[in-house]
């Protein structure tokens, strides 16, 4: 019922410049883990970097109940997450889930203020 207010709020938010800019560097898969190098610019004081391993699309076959036999699709499912103190240059290590197929996953890094919990910067990259 408030579509115009929502559209206005989204437009306003998209026009804001992030306080922190994050760049994803090299990625290495080693012994069931994904090691991600990153760099930041901007005000990283009192920020953490949240690293997420996101499965782009997942399906679940329902085996019982009223939906027995149906297949459900889910999108952007977080499979692994870690939080580390923000640095100008740093790394994050995420656990790789069973059945991992890299072309169905993305990495998302968020800078988050530790006091207000406000997201101050983001970046997403396909693996």
- Output the pLDDT for position 88: 98
Strands (E), the chain: 20-30, 33-42, 47-61, 71-85, 89-95, 105-113, 119-126
Domains and CATH numbers, the chain: 18-126 (2.60.40.10)
pTM for the predicted model, two decimal places: 0.85
Over residues 9-41, the pLDDT tens digits come to 999 988 989 999 999 999 999 999 999 999 999
Alpha helices in 1-127 (DSSP H): 3-15
Q: How far is CA 125 from the centre of its chain?
A: 9
For residue 52, pLDDT over 90 is answered with yes
Over residues 69-105, the pLDDT tens digits come to 999 999 999 999 999 999 999 999 999 999 898 899 9
């Amino acid at each position: 019922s408030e579509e115009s207010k929502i559209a206005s709020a989204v437009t306003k938010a998209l026009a804001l410049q992030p306080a922190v800019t994050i760049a994803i560097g090299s990625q290495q898969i080693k012994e069931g883990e994904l090691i991600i190098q990153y760099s930041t610019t901007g005000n990283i004081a009192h920020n953490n970097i949240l690293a997420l391993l996101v499965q782009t699309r997942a399906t679940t076959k329902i085996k019982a109940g009223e939906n027995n036999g149906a297949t459900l699709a889910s999108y952007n499912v977080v499979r692994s997450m870690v939080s580390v103190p923000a640095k100008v240059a740093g790394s994050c290590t995420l656990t790789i889930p069973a059945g991992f197929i890299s072309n169905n996953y993305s990495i998302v890094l968020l800078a988050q203020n530790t006091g207000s919990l406000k997201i101050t910067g983001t970046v997403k990259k396909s693996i």
